[in-house]
């Protein structure tokens, strides 16, 4: 752990974690099995970063979100609620929230929420995915994850 990182006493960290830079690991979070949190990343509430997943840059992971299996959440992305990111990349200003599942890349300003599922063979880049309906719908109130 870097001296500049902030890790709450209530957080479960280990085995083989990396928390560095100015990262903040708060509340009842879990960083386990090679999970990495670095830069200015914030992991809060009951979120988990596990199985060699990496959260770096300025992202926020919160709620009961699960980042696993070598996934990357980076830049200014947000993953919150009960969302799960598995073995893929979420970056830019992308948001994955609600009960969404992402096993394919979500980038730039794409939003996946409610029960949206990102197919591993597709790239979601700058479109919103709401309740698994594609387009520019504005029904997803992802600000509730703040």
- What local confidence, expressed as pLDDT, does residue 110 receive? 80
127 pLDDT above the threshold of 60:
no
Tell me the whole-structure pTM to 2 decimals.
Answer: 0.85
Q: Give the mean model confidence (pLDDT) for residues 45-71.
A: 97
- What local confidence, expressed as pLDDT, does residue 74 receive? 97
User: Which residues, other chains included, contact 61 with Cβ-Cβ below 8 Å and sequence gap of 6+?
Assistant: 41, 42, 43, 44, 47, 49, 55, 67, 73, 78, 79, 80
| Average pLDDT in the chain | 84
Q: Give the mean model confidence (pLDDT) for residues 88-94.
A: 89
Q: How sure is the predictor about 112, in pLDDT bands with cuts at 50, 70 and 90?
A: confident
- What local confidence, expressed as pLDDT, does residue 82 receive? 93
- What local confidence, expressed as pLDDT, does residue 99 receive? 86
Burial readout 87-109 (b: 16 or more C-beta within 10 A, e: otherwise): bbbbbbebbbbbebbbbbbbbee
- What local confidence, expressed as pLDDT, does residue 3 receive? 73
């Amino acid at each position: 752990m870097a001296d500049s990182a902030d890790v709450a006493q209530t957080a479960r960290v280990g085995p083989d974690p990396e928390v560095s830079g100015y990262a903040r690991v708060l509340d009842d979070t879990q960083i386990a099995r090679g999970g990495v949190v670095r830069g200015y990343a914030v992991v809060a509430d009951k979120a988990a970063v596990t199985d060699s997943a990496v959260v770096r840059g300025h992202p926020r992971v919160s709620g009961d979100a699960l980042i696993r299996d070598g996934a990357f959440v980076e830049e200014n992305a947000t993953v919150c609620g009960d969302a799960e990111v598995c073995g893929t990349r979420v970056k830019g200003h992308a948001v994955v929230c609600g009960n969404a599942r992402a096993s394919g890349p979500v980038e730039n300003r794409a939003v996946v929420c409610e029960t949206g599922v990102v197919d591993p063979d597709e790239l979601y880049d700058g479109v919103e995915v709401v309740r698994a309906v594609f387009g520019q719908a504005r029904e997803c109130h992802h600000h509730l994850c703040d």
